[in-house]
Each structure stands twice: as structure tokens, then as C-alpha cells.
């Protein structure tokens, strides 16, 4: 089994509620962002737009963080969630450098790394992750990736690091840009 995120860039309004709901749930320090909302970038589409993708830890099929950690602070649960053990972490930042997605982040306050846990304790209680719960337009969803391909989705977006390296457990609904009638 592999849990992951479905990121619907067609629906996403870039409001950053998911990002702040994550901080609210875990009261993380200002310096770390377990989830971030990234602009995709105007140059990637034929028309100017404001398109975003909300990215946290992708709980990869082949997590580099887990592979490079010298103290086995990372484990991958049966449901695919990559869990970071803060007690084991020595703050060496190998994972910070290894992860293509900037998911593990160094917090100078604790001199250790921390990252998205996919709210596994909430999941164990049958709840949704805090970020998914916070999305008012349903643009962020929890999905299972162990089955067949998720229909109408893609595994990459402009600016999203090549998924072939670590097998990130995210899928995207690509954006749709309507007709624009612009002066000039």
C-alpha cells in the first residue's frame, strides 16, 4: 500500500490554507515549512496565469532521505508513509541535501531535521491529514497509489523535480486555462 497526495492544479487557488493548516496542526516554527505552495511559473504556459502546486513530503517509493540517513532516523510504514524519528535525528542534514523536493528541513531551534509525517496519527484515527482537511476547494486529496494508475492525472509538472529518481507518491491534475480576452 502507498498513500500519497493528489494535487489538483486546476482547482487550486494558491490560497496557502494547506500550508498554514499544517503549521497550525503541529505549531511548527516559522523557519520550517513542512508544506509549501509553489507558483508553477508563468513561462510554462501559453497564457499568463496564477497556477500553484502544493508540495510537502512526497513519501516516495524510493526515499532518498531514508537511504542516506546515517542513523536510521527514517522508516517507511506499511502504508508508505515515510516517518522521520526526531529523537534519532542528529541534524547532519544529509537528507536535506538528498531530497529533490526540499521536504526534510533543518530547524536551528532544535538543531535537527523535521518534515511532513502525512499526519499518520490522524490517519491511524481515520482522519484526513490536516492540509487535506483545510482545503476549501478540494484541490488536495489523500490517494492510494498502490492500485492502477490514477485516471486523468500526471506524475510531473513544470518545475517539479524528475519523479524517476525517488518515485514521489503524488499525482497532479494539470491546470486548465480558459479563454482570456486581453487588451494589447
Partner 1 sequence: MDKKSVAGSGAIWEKLITRRTFLKGTAVAGAAAAVEGLLNFDFLWHLTPAARAGSNNNDNKYQVFLNVCPRNCYDTCSILSYVQDGVLKKVTGNPEQTFTRGHLCAKGYTYTRRVYSPDRIKYPMRQTGGRGSGKWQRINWDEAMDVIARKILELKKRYGSTLPICLDKYSGNFEIMHYGIEGMMSSIGYTTRALGTPCWPAGIDAQTFDMGTLYSSDPEAMVNARYLILWGVNPAWTSIHSMHFVYEARKRGAKLVVIDPVISQTASKADLYVQINPSTDGALALGMARYILDHNLYDRDYLQNHVIGWEQFAAYLRDRVTTGWASYKTGVPQEVIETLAREYATAKPALIWIGYGMQRHTNGGQNVRAIDALAAITGNIGKTGGGANYGQLETWGFNYHAMGFKAPAGSKGVSKPDGTVSDRFIDINNFGHDVLAAKDPPVKMLWIACRNPLSQDPEAGVVEKAFRSMELVVTVDQFMNRSAQLSDIVLPATTQFEDWGVNASYWHYWVGINQQAIKPLFEAKSDVQIAMALSRRLNQLAPGSCTYPVDGDMQDWLGKEFNAKTYQMLGIQDWRELLKGPRKARLPAASWSDGKFRTPSGKYELYSQEAQKFGHNPLPVYLDEEKAPEKYPYRLLTPHWKLGLHSQFQNLDWMMSTNPEPWLEIHPDLAAAKGIRDGDMVKVFNDLGWLIIKARVTATVPPGIMAAYEAWYRDVDYNVNYTVKATPADMGTKATGNPGIAFHDNFIDITRA
Complex with partner 1: residue 41 or 162, whichever CB lies closer: 41
Q: What backbone phi and psi angles, to 5 degrees, belong to 24?
A: -65, -45
Q: How far apart are CA 112 and CA 104, in angstroms?
A: 10
Complex with partner 1: residue 84 or 171, whichever CB lies closer: 84
Closest contact distance (angstroms) between CB of 180 and partner 1 is: 5
Q: How far apart are CA 114 and CA 55, in angstroms?
A: 15
Closest contact distance (angstroms) between CB of 155 and partner 1 is: 23
Complex with partner 1: residue 32 or 60, whichever CB lies closer: 32
Closest contact distance (angstroms) between CB of 162 and partner 1 is: 25
Complex with partner 1: residue 49 or 79, whichever CB lies closer: 49
Instruction: Kindly give, in sequence order, each residue whose CB lies less than 8 Å from that of residue 156, ignoring residues fewer than 6 positions away.
Output: 162, 163, 172
By DSSP bridging, strand 3-8 and strand 36-39 are unpaired
Complex with partner 1: residue 20 or 68, whichever CB lies closer: 20
To the nearest 10°, the Cα dihedral for 66, 162, 164, 22? Answer: 40
Binding site for partner 1 (CB under 8 A): 11, 13-17, 19-21, 23-31, 33, 36, 42, 48-51, 84-87, 107-112, 114, 117, 119-122, 125, 133-138, 177-184
Burial of 184 (0-12, 13-18, 19+ CB in 10 A): exposed
Cell of 119: 499526519
Closest contact distance (angstroms) between CB of 86 and partner 1 is: 3
Closest contact distance (angstroms) between CB of 140 and partner 1 is: 11
Amino acid at each position: 500500500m502507498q498513500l500519497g497526495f493528489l494535487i489538483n492544479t486546476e482547482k487550486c487557488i494558491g490560497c496557502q490554507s494547506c500550508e498554514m493548516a499544517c503549521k497550525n496542526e503541529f505549531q511548527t516554527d516559522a523557519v520550517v515549512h513542512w508544506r509549501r505552495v509553489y507558483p508553477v511559473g508563468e513561462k510554462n504556459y501559453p497564457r499568463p496565469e496564477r497556477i500553484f502546486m502544493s508540495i510537502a513530503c512526497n513519501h516516495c517509493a524510493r526515499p532518498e532521505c531514508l537511504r542516506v540517513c546515517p542513523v536510521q532516523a527514517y522508516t517507511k510504514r506499511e502504508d508508505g508513509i515515510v516517518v522521520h524519528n526526531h529523537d534519532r535525528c542528529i541534524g547532519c542534514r544529509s537528507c536535506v541535501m538528498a531530497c529533490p523536493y526540499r521536504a526534510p528541513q533543518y530547524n536551528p531551534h532544535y538543531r535537527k531535521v523535521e518534515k511532513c509525517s502525512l499526519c499518520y496519527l490522524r490517519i491511524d484515527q481515520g482522519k484526513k491529514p490536516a492540509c487535506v482537511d483545510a482545503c476549501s476547494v478540494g484541490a488536495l486529496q489523500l490517494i492510494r497509489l498502490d492500485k492502477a494508475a490514477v485516471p486523468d492525472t500526471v506524475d510531473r509538472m513544470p518545475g517539479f523535480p524528475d519523479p524517476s529518481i525517488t518515485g514521489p507518491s503524488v499525482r497532479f491534475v494539470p491546470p486548465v486555462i480558459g479563454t482570456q480576452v486581453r487588451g494589447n
